[in-house]
Amino acid sequence: MGPRVSAGAAGGPDRGYVLHAYPYRETSLLLQAWTQAHGRFALVAKGARRPRSASRGVLVPFQPLSLTWFGRGEVKTLRAAEPAGPALPLAGAGLLSAFYLNELLLKLIHRDDPHERLWTAYDEAVAALRDLSRRAAGVPGLVAAEPGAGEARAIEPVLRRFELAMLRELGFAVELGRDAATGAPIDPEGEYWYVLERGPVPAEGAGERADAVRLSGLTLAHLDRGRFDDPRTAAEAKSLMRLLIHHCLNGQELATRALVRDLQRLEDPA
């Protein structure tokens, strides 16, 4: 018989994922859950590390779940976790990319702050990465989260769409369609600096800027329409998202990016 809870103390059922799990005491797990209607919050899964625990095999990242819980404090107690869909394995670039999405959510999304549109974007991104992993099964060398060939070219649009959705959901006004200086529509034939906390302004001359990346007007037009199939758009969109996310992180490096760099260093010939 489960614990008795007063009205309003119980939560769920809600669709969700486990972003991260930590060992807690002798047999339990402390989870960071990401749910559709309740956002990100902490859950204790009591006894989940016991060998015969029914939840042991489902409280893992990227498994769609139906979650119920109880409790009023900052850390809730898991009542039940049931699979809400298939969890075909992620591997290679798809797996590392999915961990990158989890790290963004853990570092940038406040606790107990629902973001249903962003949750849907995450759900769709994980499903797309799972499909790409399945299609790339058995292909050697695909280990980097954002490399430049094969499976990775298909992964790039998945990451960029999620990053853009996340920035917009966080209230970061990503202006793509108009010149920030004049308000005029972006000229697809032009060249622009995308300046932090301002937006695109016409680029004049050469050189580099610490607070901006250089983009073609066509890239901005493609991003505004959600198009990522053009190779130049894909490359410039990656640079833009890195600039904006680095700014949101206040310069903090992501562990997944450091891992990608280390893997690439190992793969490079001496």
**pLDDT, tens digit, 9 for 90 and up, residues 96-134:** 999 999 999 999 999 999 999 999 999 999 999 998 887
pLDDT the model gives residue 209: 87
- How does DSSP assign 189-222, residue by residue? TSEEEEETTTEEEE--SS---TTEEEEEHHHHHH
Angle between helices 92-108 and 255-267 in degrees, nearest 10: 150
Average pLDDT over residues 130-146: 60
Every domain range in the chain assigned CATH 2.40.50.140: 10-83
- Average pLDDT (176-182) is 92
Chain centroid to Cα 98, Å, comes to 7
Those residues with Cβ within 8 angstroms of residue 118's Cβ, 6 or more apart along the chain or in another chain: 109, 165, 166, 169
What CATH superfamily is the domain 92-267? Recombination protein O, C-terminal domain (1.20.1440.120)
Tell me the per-residue pLDDT of 153-171, one tens digit each, with 9 for 90 and over: 889 999 999 999 999 998 8
Among 107, 101, 40, 49, CA closest to 74 = 40
Model pLDDT for residues 67-93, shown as the tens digit of each residue: 999 998 899 999 999 999 877 778 888
Q: Is pLDDT above 60 for 146? A: no
- Confirm or reject CATH 2.40.50.140 for domain 10-83, answering yes or no: yes
Q: What is the mean pLDDT of the chain?
A: 85
How far is Cα 128 from Cα 154, in angstroms, rounded to an integer? Answer: 10
pLDDT of 202 reads 94
Residue 24 has pLDDT above 90, yes or no: yes
